[in-house]
Structure 1
Amino acid sequence: MNVEIIKKGNYNVSEWSGGKTTELYIYPTTSKYNDRNFMWRISAATVDAPESNFTSLPGFARKLMVTEGETILEHSGKYKIVLKPFDKDSFMGDFETKSYGKASDFNLMTSSACSGDINLISVEPFSKIKVENKSLGKVMESFYFLNGEAEVKFQDKEFKLDEKDLFYINYEKNDAKIEVFIINRSNEEVKVIRTIVLMS
């Protein structure tokens, strides 16, 4: 079992054709995005150009959630979709994909060695929620805090997370007493993007 907290000042930020991308986590941690030798990767990106082409990623599946603004994704010969905040789309990395509109988004890329999903968790002011997980096998989870600050309680320990911080855990499903709680002690709603990846 492994627990990590990545602070917002420690991410790798790079340019892409439409704006900037912030690598939040890549697995294995020794892999490189440009070498395409990772099993999975999560990132947050900005789309600053009114029109842009997505990078081709053959062999990877993608899930994208808009976090701010609005965008239209057009997968050539496939379909077109309008995404507003917290809408998401799932598509293959070898699709010829073009985006229209300025926005910010959250991305999960997975190789054929694993599968995954992303979902929004909203934590009301002065509340505590338990995150359920019914998956089997080796599980990797992360919680990316879009705004505010909160605590994550895991294995009877509490970890403080600020805006844009990432809480990451991996474990085997048969590990005893796997419970995750998110505690919001503030007077504003806290939004968190949860990523779950299952290894084949």
Structure 2
Amino acid sequence: MTITLIPREGATVGVWSGGTTTELALYPPDGSYAQRRFLFRISSADVQLEESTFTPLPGVTRYITPLTGGFTLTHPDGSSVVMEPLDTPYRFDGGVPTVSRGRAADFNLMCKGCGGVMTLAEGTDLALPGFNYYMLPAGGEVTAGGFTYRLRPLDLLLIETDRSVPVRTDKALVCRIDL
């Protein structure tokens, strides 16, 4: 088991038509979001337009939840979801056209060719075999492997393990990836 604190200061910030995106994690490390060469990506976007269209990402499973603000996501089949801060993460096909209405800061997981899920956790949790990224929207502490880690908002704590590991956490968004 390895545990790595990934401070937000090392993140890459990019500009898109609706605001900015902070790339917090990308795998493999030599991958490229721009070239669509990645297995998974964790990011946070600051959506500054009232209405924006998501970049089409065929073959990518996406998870999203607002950190602040809120939005409504709408798909061409008429389905939509209204989301408020820290709602249960919404899973959708990145290849389906998606329009967002509402200004927000959000948290995203994109998986391409690997299994992944984003969940909310608080109190006792279990890091599962694979990659487990913890992000505490309000900051706080995560205890795992006999150590306590203090995280600020948008810092990530990566627990990479081949077995289940008990974790104690303040309110967290958890991205679990199984390659």
Paired positions, count: 178
Q: Per the alignment, in what secondary structure is the counterpart of residue 85 of structure 1?
A: coil
Q: Which structure 2 residues correspond to residues 20-59 of structure 1 after superposition, within 5 A?
A: 20-59=20-59
Aligned-residue sequence identity (percent) comes to 32
Deviation at 1:97, TM superposition (A): 0.8
Q: Following TM superposition, where does structure 1 have runs of at least 4 consecutive aligned residues deviating by more than 6 angstroms?
A: none
Deviations 1:62-100 (A, max 9, x none): 111112112111111251221112223211111111111
**What corresponds to 1:180 in structure 2?**
167
SS in 1 for 2:64: strand
Larger radius of gyration: 1
For structure 2, the residue ranges without an aligned partner over 5 or more in a row are none
Report the secondary structure of 1:105's partner residue: strand
What amino acid is aligned across from residue 179 of structure 1 in structure 2? P
- Give the TM-score normalised by structure 2: 0.90
Task: Say which is worse superposed, 20-29 or 74-83, in terms of deviation.
Answer: 74-83
SS at match of 2:107: strand
Task: Give the Å deviation of 1:163.
Answer: 2.8
Instruction: Say if 2:145 is the partner of 1:155.
Output: yes
Q: Within the alignment, does 1:82 sit opposite 2:92 as a pair?
A: no
Letter in 2 for 1:101: G
Match of 1:195 in 2: 175
Q: Separation in 1 of the partners of 2:36 and 2:12?
A: 16
Q: What is the aligned partner in structure 2 of residue 141 from structure 1? A: 132
1:83-138 CA-partner distances (Å, limit 9, x unpaired): 112223211111111111111111110013x121112234xxxxxx32125x5xx4
Q: In structure 2, how many angstroms separate the alpha carbons of the residues matched to 1:121 and 1:76? A: 32
Mapped to 2, the partners of 1:156 and 1:192 lie a distance apart of 19
Residue 118 of structure 2 corresponds to: 118
Cα distance in 1, alignment partners of residues 118 and 63 from structure 2? 7
Equivalent residue of 2:165, what SS? coil
